[in-house]
């Protein structure tokens, strides 16, 4: 029995490809070693959003007085938050399971290892059984980067140092939480545990948080969280972990912070370990599987989508890449475009971005006009947010008058940003956007308003 497609990895890339390919009538096998839904559904995007939503409800209640809402003794019941998270994840995994059945996808639970190629196709071993597929899609995702910090392994073994996986299941909120890495995971978890009452310290190597986010926007986020009491140690190099203690060096010399938990969130790396790529000669650059714009590897009939190709390590990129893979398999040429992929940090306030930042535009020498408006241009924002400092920042190409980048800090940003991605994908010009009617009152209206400032 030969499958038309064997998909390795059941995360957003893998399950989407399996669903689409199965739906198109291909004979598909999907291998998953942990749980259907992958990191995103089981220990990433979705669980963290259940946490952050509870935090947002608590924050709203705590700050209710200014809005005429009196609530007393508000606090987060962490075990209940974790329980709810588990229910949400279970429900969504069950939904995926049904989707696979509906699309005639054979799901095999176990670790898949590629073992070579025969006349019939690629050989894959799972739990001691051999399967053959005419094509392979590698969608094995990524794993956390564990930096070579002396003492980290010991601290991890003792259950003090944790990654994004373990932090979502801790039973009580730590009194003191130290987070190494002020990127997306670090900030989202800092946000939750700050709301839950932990004293949070973020130790970040760079002189700013939120990585490649537009610097002005990440500065506003930093100020918001400093006000909420998070202690940021920037330009700080961690040199050692001694049990509960994180020792780091910054311009102020050698310092120490203590946490009952230490979250390590310094990035993720493509997961190709033990996959048997060498048995068929799939090319990597030592870190990621190399793919072209059709998601093909150097071996015809072997594709790689999602974090494992290391291009844009986001679940929504994986969805689209998976669809491109299936279209290409079906003979519908589908080229992946990466220039308008939005990214969101679900802090409170939220940050959402698409395209070039002021910094990347300058680095590339792009001729841009930058328009910046406070979100207080939106009636709804003012009606709902006291003392809000949200902004929208738009980069317009001076020659063609199209949008090259758009960044928002403020709540609802996550739900607005796709509009900006659409504007970029369809190469709308400033004048075209001015003619679109936006609903009023909404926060998104500031985008239209910004077009009149351009
Ligand atoms: P990240 O790349 O976002 O941030 C890592 C941070 O750690 C960077 O600021 C980096 O400068 C810092 N760092 C690196 N080494 C360090 C060291 N030794 N000491 C101190 N700081 C150090 O990575 P993160 O937060 O782990 O997230 C991993 C991936 O998960 C990202 O690719 C992200 O795209 C994805 N993700 C996406 C989310 C979303 O879309 N909302 C949510 C969570 C994760």
Alpha helices in 9-147 (DSSP H): 12-23, 38-43, 45-62, 78-102
| Band of pLDDT at residue 212, cut at 50, 70 and 90 | very high
Angle at alpha carbon of residue 145, lines to 364 and 84, rounded to 5°: 105
**Average confidence (pLDDT) over 199-204:** 98
| Band of pLDDT at residue 191, cut at 50, 70 and 90 | very high
pLDDT of amino acid 360: 98
Which residue from 121, 229, 249, 104 is spatially nearest to 176, judged by alpha carbons? 229
Q: Which of 150, 181, 347, 414 to mutate to test the pocket of ligand 1 (most atoms within 8 A of CB)?
A: 181
Phi, psi at residue 44, to the nearest 5°? -145, -115
For ligand 1, whether the C-beta of 181 sits within 6 Å is: yes
Per residue in 240-249, pLDDT (tens digit) is 999 999 999 9
For ligand 1, whether the C-beta of 267 sits within 6 Å is: yes
For ligand 1, whether the C-beta of 150 sits within 6 Å is: no
Per residue in 356-368, pLDDT (tens digit) is 999 999 999 999 9
Q: How far is the CA of 400 from the centre of ligand 1 (A)?
A: 34
Angle at alpha carbon of residue 31, lines to 29 and 37, rounded to 5°: 110
- Ligand 1 atom nearest residue 145's Cα: 26
For ligand 1, whether the C-beta of 147 sits within 6 Å is: yes
Q: Active-site residues: which are they?
A: 440
Residue closest via CA to ligand 1's atom 23 equals 267
Q: How far is the CA of 310 from the centre of ligand 1 (A)?
A: 14
Per residue in 311-333, pLDDT (tens digit) is 999 999 999 999 999 999 999 99
Mean pLDDT (the chain, rounded): 98
Residue closest via CA to ligand 1's atom 40 equals 344
Phi, psi at residue 178, to the nearest 5°? -105, 130
User: What's the CA gap between 396 and 353, in Å, rounded?
Assistant: 14
pLDDT of amino acid 1: 87
- Ligand 1 atom nearest residue 314's Cα: 34
Q: How far is the CA of 50 from the centre of ligand 1 (A)?
A: 20
Per residue in 276-320, pLDDT (tens digit) is 999 999 999 999 999 999 999 999 999 999 999 999 999 999 999
Which residue from 267, 413, 288 is spatially nearest to 342, judged by alpha carbons? 413
Sequence-distant (6+) residues with CB within 8 A of 144 are: 163, 164, 165, 264, 265, 266, 267, 268, 269
Q: Which of 13, 168, 178, 185 to mutate to test the pocket of ligand 1 (most atoms within 8 A of CB)?
A: 185
Q: How far is the CA of 301 from the centre of ligand 1 (A)?
A: 32
Q: How far is the CA of 371 from the centre of ligand 1 (A)?
A: 28
User: What's the CA gap between 88 and 75, in Å, rounded?
Assistant: 21
pLDDT of amino acid 71: 94
Question: In this structure, how many other beta carbons lie within 10 angstroms of the beta carbon of residue 70?
Answer: 8
For ligand 1, whether the C-beta of 151 sits within 6 Å is: no
Task: Specify whether the CB–CB gap between 406 and 420 falls below 8 A.
Answer: yes
- Ligand 1 atom nearest residue 183's Cα: 4
Q: Which two tokens stand for residue 420?
A: 């900006």
For ligand 1, whether the C-beta of 266 sits within 6 Å is: yes
Q: How far is the CA of 152 from the centre of ligand 1 (A)?
A: 17
Sequence-distant (6+) residues with CB within 8 A of 153 are: 146
pTM above 0.95, yes or no: yes
User: What's the CA gap between 163 and 180, in Å, rounded?
Assistant: 10
For ligand 1, whether the C-beta of 310 sits within 6 Å is: no
Q: Which helix (H) or strand (E) holds 315?
A: helix 315-329
Task: Show the domains of the chain with their CATH numbers.
Answer: 2-144+269-329 (3.50.50.60), 152-266 (3.50.50.60), 343-453 (3.30.390.30)
Q: Indicate left, alpha or beta for 197 from its phi (over 0: left) and psi (-120 to 50: alpha).
A: left
**Average confidence (pLDDT) over 417-441:** 98
Phi, psi at residue 66, to the nearest 5°? -65, -20
For ligand 1, whether the C-beta of 61 sits within 6 Å is: no
For ligand 1, whether the C-beta of 186 sits within 6 Å is: yes
Q: Indicate left, alpha or beta for 5 from its phi (over 0: left) and psi (-120 to 50: alpha).
A: beta
Per residue in 76-102, pLDDT (tens digit) is 999 999 999 999 999 999 999 999 999
Q: What percent of the chain has pLDDT over 70?
A: 100
Q: How far is the CA of 293 from the centre of ligand 1 (A)?
A: 25
Sequence-distant (6+) residues with CB within 8 A of 245 are: 256, 257, 258
Burial class (CB in 10 A: 0-12, 13-18, 19+), 176: middle
DSSP string over 387-441: T---EEEEEEETTT-BEEEEEEESTTHHHHHHHHHHHHHTT-BHHHHHTSPPPSS
**Average confidence (pLDDT) over 370-381:** 98
**Average confidence (pLDDT) over 407-416:** 98
CB neighbour burial string for 137-167, b if at least 16 within 10 angstroms, e if fewer: bbbbbbbbeeeebebbeebbeeebbbbbeeb
For ligand 1, whether the C-beta of 268 sits within 6 Å is: yes
């Amino acid at each position: 029995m030969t499958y038309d497609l064997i998909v390795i990895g059941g995360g957003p890339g893998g399950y989407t490809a399996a669903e689409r390919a199965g739906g198109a009538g291909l004979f598909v096998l999907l291998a998953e070693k942990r749980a259907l839904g992958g990191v995103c559904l089981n220990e990433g995007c979705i669980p963290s959003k259940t946490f952050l939503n509870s935090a947002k409800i608590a924050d709203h209640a705590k700050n209710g007085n200014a809005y005429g809402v009196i609530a007393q003794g508000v606090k987060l019941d962490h075990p209940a938050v974790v329980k709810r998270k588990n229910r949400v994840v279970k429900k969504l995994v069950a939904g995926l399971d049904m989707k696979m059945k509906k699309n005639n996808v054979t799901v095999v639970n176990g670790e898949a290892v590629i073992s070579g190629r025969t006349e019939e196709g690629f050989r894959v071993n799972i739990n001691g059984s051999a399967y053959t597929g005419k094509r392979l899609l590698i969608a094995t995702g990524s794993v956390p980067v564990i930096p070579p910090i002396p003492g980290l392994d010991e601290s991890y073994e003792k259950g003090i140092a944790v990654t994004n996986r373990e932090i979502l299941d801790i039973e009580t909120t730590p009194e003191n939480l130290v987070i190494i890495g002020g990127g997306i995971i670090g900030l989202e978890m800092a946000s939750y545990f700050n709301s839950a009452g932990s004293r949070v310290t973020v130790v970040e190597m760079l002189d700013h948080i939120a990585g490649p986010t537009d610097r002005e926007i990440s500065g506003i986020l930093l100020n918001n969280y400093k006000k909420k009491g998070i202690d940021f140690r920037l330009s700080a190099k961690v040199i050692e972990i001694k049990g509960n203690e994180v020792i780091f060096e910054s311009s102020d010399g050698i310092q120490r912070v203590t946490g009952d938990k230490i979250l390590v969130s310094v990035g993720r790396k493509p997961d190709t370990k033990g996959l048997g790529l060498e048995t068929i000669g799939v090319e990597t650059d030592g870190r990621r599987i190399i793919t072209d714009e059709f998601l093909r590897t150097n071996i015809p009939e072997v594709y790689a989508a999602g974090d494992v190709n290391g291009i844009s390590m986001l679940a929504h990129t994986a969805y689209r890449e998976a669809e491109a893979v299936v279209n290409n398999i079906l003979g519908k040429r589908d080229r992946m475009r990466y220039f308008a992929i939005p990214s969101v940090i679900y802090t409170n306030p939220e940050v959402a971005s698409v395209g070039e930042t002021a910094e990347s535009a300058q680095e590339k020498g792009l001729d841009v006009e930058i328009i910046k408006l406070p979100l207080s241009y939106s009636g709804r924002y003012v009606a709902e947010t006291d003392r809000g400092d949200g902004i929208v920042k738009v980069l317009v190409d001076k020659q063609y008058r199209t949008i090259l980048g758009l960044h928002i800090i403020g709540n609802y940003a996550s739900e607005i940003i796709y509009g900006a991605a659409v504007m970029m994908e369809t190469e709308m010009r400033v004048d075209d956007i001015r003619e679109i009617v936006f609903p009023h009152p909404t926060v998104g209206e500031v985008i239209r308003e910004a077009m009149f400032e351009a």
